[in-house]
Amino acid sequence: MDGTELAERLRSLPSVDELLRTEPLRSAAAEAPRGIAVSAARAAIERGRDEIRAGGNGLPSASELARRAADGLERSLRPSLRRVVNATGIVVHTNLGRAPLAQGALKAVEDATGYSNLEYDLERGERGTRHAHVEQLICELTGAEAALAVNNNAAAVMLALAALARGCDVVISRGQLVEIGGSFRVPEILSASGARLVEVGTTNRTRRSDYERAIGAETAALMRVHASNFRTVGFTQEVTIEELGALAREHAKLVIDDLGSGVLEDSAGALADEPSARRSIRAGADVVCFSGDKLLGGPQAGIVAGRTDAVERMRSHPVARAVRIDKLSLAALEATLRIHREPERALRELPVLRMFHAPEHELVERAGGLRDRLRDAIGESAAVEIERASGRVGGGALPLLELEGPVVTVRPRSLPVDALQRSIRAHDPPVIARLHDDALILDPRTMTDAEAGSAAAAVVAALRS
């Protein structure tokens, strides 16, 4: 194509105003701010120019450019943070926002969106503290003397180290120098806090005597970090929190315990491997830190429970303001903690616990309904079956536990299964599912009946298109 022909083809493209008058962009632009619609039209025209310059034989029509612009306009108006359907079977899915909130927590957030007594003492008619809304509840549920909440558990650990051990030694087992999500590592958090790391023991075996030899005049605390997202098995040994607490008291040192997952009470069965906050407090830990949005089933938060003097030092530290919890998360956390006061109610109302303990008959019924709906709608375009598979707790908790149960498998006959997965992610609402053995896996454990209906609609739409 010579320069004259190229210029002629470029001039033949519609102007922005012409494109704005062409369907379907005209209809889409009617409900959008003009500036955004103009930007979408310009982007579509520029894409057409790029195609012509690249030597394409075809010339994009005005209607095709309008369609592209309308699609771009729709994407620009759509919220980036959206509700999705979690069909993965991973209950506390870090990438999908971790724990879904209970209805009571959602109502509390709604009530807190306007003015509230966030830092106002209604009885005294004067300034109060936001920690007052959850401190007594945390103490009641853990047995601690004092408590506070910050914006996440990493912040809670950072604040504890900065307030209690800055410029001093913190003794920790080598087997607990873990990396948590997002490549954040315990040694780096220690360094950033101003504390000095003293490693003891080996990766697989650490004894009480290792801690004893490391304790010195510069030691501020003994620290335990729960290896939430992995397990070391075989020839292993570790010091219990009770032993660590006794040793710290002998040497007048502090114990900082990072639990991660947020189990409040000692549990039997599947949760038996997760250390509880109450046990740590009972063992003499001065500060216990754990998450609000993992097994606790609440919002993103870091919860600190412990001895009054240690918690007060943290509360008055300058970093405390930088990591303080916001009012909406605080409202959801308070509501979640109130639900935990009644264990049976918690099993009913907290989605994480409900999914975690879902009875077999409930999962079978939901899977059967999903399978039947898909078979009726898509006919022979895919093989739809109920099979057995294992989900996960997720969120770095209980990595060895498999949540076995029924799942619905979809094996499309005329569409690559990865294309089907991409298509349902583009649905409204997006459906997130996993692939295995050339099949799309839809796990009923992490969906409500309504969400299973949305998942079915997404699969049907994808296969019909």
Concatenating the DSSP letter of every residue in 86-118 gives: E-SSEEEBGGGTBSPPPHHHHHHHHHTSSS--T
Record the tokens describing residue 71, joined without a space. Answer: 């699609």
CA distance 448 to 70: 33
- Whether residue 98 is contained in a domain is answered as no
In a shared domain, residues 35 and 154: no
428-446 b/e (C-beta count within 10 Å ≥ 16 → b): eeebbbbeeeebbbbbbbb
Same domain, 161 and 232: yes
d(CA 119, CA 375): 55
Single-letter residue type at 61: S
Q: Are residues 268 and 176 in the same domain?
A: yes
Residue 178 confidence (pLDDT) above 70: yes
Same domain, 401 and 459: yes
Greater model confidence, 174 or 229: 174
The reply to whether 454 falls in a domain is yes
Structure tokens belonging to residue 121 = 């003492």
Asked whether residue 80 is domain-assigned, the answer is no
Split at pLDDT 50, 70, 90, the class of 250 is very high
Q: Is pLDDT at 372 greater than 80 in this prediction?
A: yes
Q: How far apart are CA 262 and CA 302, in angstroms?
A: 9
89 and 107 co-located in one domain: no
7 band by pLDDT with thresholds 50, 70 and 90: confident
Sorting pLDDT into bands at 50, 70 and 90, what band is 113? very high
Share of the chain above pLDDT 70, in %: 95
387 has pLDDT over 80: yes
Shared domain for 446 and 365, answered yes or no, is yes
Which two structure tokens, joined as six digits, stand for 166?
């800055």
Domain contains 261: yes
Task: Find out whether the peptide bond into 275 is cis, omega within 30 degrees of 0.
Answer: no
Helix axes 62-77, 34-53, angle to 10 degrees: 130
Average pLDDT over residues 201-230: 89
Residues 336 and 363 in one domain: no
Q: What value does the mean pLDDT take over residues 271-297?
A: 91
* Same domain assignment for residues 50 and 176: no
Give the C-alpha separation, 366 to 363, whole Å.
5
Name which of 225, 241, 149, 221 is nearest 180 in CA terms: 225
- Number of compact structural domains in the chain: 3
Containing structural domain, residue 121: 103-349
Instruction: Give the span between the Cα atoms of 226 and 246, in whole angstroms.
Output: 18
Tokens matching residue 312: 């007060």
pLDDT band per the 50, 70, 90 thresholds, residue 229: low
When mean pLDDT is compared across 29-38, 66-75, 228-237, the lowest value belongs to 228-237
pLDDT tier for residue 393 given thresholds of 50, 70 and 90: confident
Domain check: are 343 and 361 in the same one?
no
Between the alpha carbon of residue 272 and those of residues 74, 95, 232, 266, 397, the distances in Å are 49, 26, 16, 7, 12
Helix axis angle, 417-425 relative to 449-464, nearest 10°?
Answer: 120
Shared domain check, 342 and 360: no
Rounded to an integer, the average pLDDT of 244-252 is: 95
